[in-house]
Amino acid sequence: MAATLSFSDGSIANLIYVANGDKSVPKEYFEVFCEGGAGIINDFCTLELRRDGKTVSTKSRRDKGHNREIELTLNAMRNGGPSPIPFEDLVEVTKACFAVHQSISVGQSVWLKENAPRLPAEATYSDGAS
């Protein structure tokens, strides 16, 4: 499954989910390009930050942050503090997920409302067969 999200500021996100690779290949891989720099997270174990031909690398044990997120959420509930992830952000990402699902169902791009600038402007689906 591949989805392309286009944002109102001109940025894009390409999400690719595959389950047919060799088990020796890291399962989760992210690349982010922004303002002349790049960041790569490989299997939540390594981070590479690249800019101006220089690379800074960091290694750690695998940690997706689930335990920390639960800890922060419970602390916020106990102490009446803010959620570690703003509710509005959770709503926006949920809307984007629903738009991708709808795009897969109808086989075409799905546009989200323009009055919500934080939402992706478009979600498209490709099965990679074209």
Total count of domains within the chain: 1
Higher pLDDT, 19 or 39: 39
| Three-state secondary structure of the chain | CEEEEECCCCCEEEEECCCCCCCCCCCCEEEEEECCEEEEEECCCEEEEEECCEEEEEECCCCCCHHHHHHHHHHHHHHCCCCCCCHHHHHHHHHHHHHHHHHHHHCCCEECCCCCCCCCCEEEEECCCC
Q: Which domain holds residue 104?
A: 2-126
Q: Are strands 46-51 and 54-59 parallel, antiparallel or unpaired?
A: antiparallel
Q: What is the mean pLDDT of the chain?
A: 83
- Region 92-118: mean pLDDT is 80
Q: 66-104 pLDDT, tens per residue?
A: 888 899 999 999 998 888 888 888 888 898 899 899 998
Give 51's pLDDT tier (boundaries 50, 70, 90): very high
Q: How many residues does the chain have?
A: 130
Q: Is the pLDDT of residue 24 over 70?
A: yes
